Structure 1
Amino acid sequence: MSLNKTQTGFTLLEILVAIVVLSLGLLGLAGLQAATLRNNQIAYYRAIAIQQTYDMADRIRANQAGVKAGAYNNLNTAIPADPDCVANACTAAQMAVADHSQWNNNNARMLPAGTGTVVSGANGSFVVTISWNENTEAGSTPQQFVTRIVP
């Protein structure tokens, strides 16, 4: 009598289990990739907001006559007409309007629903605020980056 028993079909079951495990792993990897892309986009928008804040700070520092005249004291989110100070000679106040126009046009172009404000603060400082919307897992979320500068 022979005790030689053979099993059939066990390797097929192992292959099916391996495919299920591999599929779950790939789904997890796809979810991780999607989260990474979303977080990279958020970091990109925040870097632009910081850059735009520094841009306005540099514009304010470059126009000290406009600062003394109060031309940068309360720049709101409305975008004024650009007086085109490249082609025309401008006063310090017109340069501040050009700065405001170019800056908020860039905010709107580079950030989703991007806007910026500048408000005069204590001791000759300015508060520069950039606002935009971020797409997070909770949906579209308004964000702000606020910086105080002293020209």
Structure 2
Amino acid sequence: MQTVNDITNQRGFTLVEVMVALVIFTISLLGLAGLQAAALRDNHLANQNTIATQLAEDMAERIRANPPGISNGDYSAISVQPGEQDCYGGSCTSGQIAQMDAYQWFAAIQSTLPSGTGTVTASGSQFIITVMWDQERTGATGTNCSGNYDIDLKCLTFTVQP
């Protein structure tokens, strides 16, 4: 049986238990906050990859939609944004359509990806479409696609057979 002296000697023990529980709870909340931050970052990077994939597919469809432009070599070397073409009236050559496609493609890349750019090159009967952007927002400008995002842009490359 407990006496009055035993109960008074345990005074404050519950407070220590509560303090330990609060410390454990605080540490677990900090861990959850870190996990949430990592998930948000990874979600943002996945979104950038999705956008780059959609942009590469967009250019692939533009190439496929202009067979005369393919045979004339109008898509064989696109690496800078050309001047704007207005081909909505229907009186453009295949080269002008290719130029309009490139202009719109570059505009879409630049408006949706940080420091975004792209290239299209021909390799035999295939086209290599590369979308590049500053994934880590480090100010990288290199186009070597090395994986070192401090100096090189992130690259996504597709090979297309029209």
- Runs in 1 of length 4+ with deviation above 3 angstroms? none
- Superposed, 1:1-150 pairs within 5 Å as 3-4=3-4, 5-6=6-7, 7-76=10-79, 78-87=80-89, 89-122=91-124, 124-135=125-136, 141=149, 142-150=153-161
Q: Give the distance between the partners of 2:57 and 2:66, measured in 1 at CA.
A: 14
Whichever residue aligns with residue 154 of structure 2, its letter is: Q
CA RMSD of aligned residues (A): 1.9
Whichever residue aligns with residue 19 of structure 2, its letter is: L
| Total equivalences in the alignment | 147
Q: Give the distance between the partners of 1:103 and 1:132, measured in 2 at CA.
A: 14
What TM-score, normalized to structure 2? 0.85
Q: Unpaired runs of 5+ in structure 1?
A: none
- Given the superposition, is the C-alpha separation of residues 147 and 98 from structure 1 closer, same or farther in structure 2, using an over 3 Å criterion? same
Q: Could you tell me how far 1:139 is from its partner in structure 2?
A: 9.3
Query: 2:145 is matched with which residue?
Result: none
Whichever residue aligns with residue 157 of structure 2, its letter is: V
What TM-score, normalized to structure 1? 0.91
Q: Could you tell me how far 1:89 is from its partner in structure 2?
A: 2.0
Q: Give the distance between the partners of 2:26 and 2:44, measured in 1 at CA.
A: 27
- Given the superposition, is the C-alpha separation of residues 139 and 70 from structure 1 closer, same or farther in structure 2, using an over 3 Å criterion? closer
Whichever residue aligns with residue 131 of structure 1, its letter is: M
Task: Answer 1 or 2: higher relative contact order, Cα 8 Å, separation at least 6.
Answer: 1
Q: Could you tell me how far 1:88 is from its partner in structure 2?
A: 5.9
Q: Unpaired runs of 5+ in structure 2?
A: 141-148
Q: Give the distance between the partners of 2:33 and 2:113, measured in 1 at CA.
A: 27
- Given the superposition, is the C-alpha separation of residues 139 and 25 from structure 1 closer, same or farther in structure 2, using an over 3 Å criterion? farther
Q: Give the distance between the partners of 1:23 and 1:3, measured in 2 at CA.
A: 37
Q: Could you tell me how far 1:114 is from its partner in structure 2?
A: 1.1
- What is the percent sequence identity of the aligned residues? 40
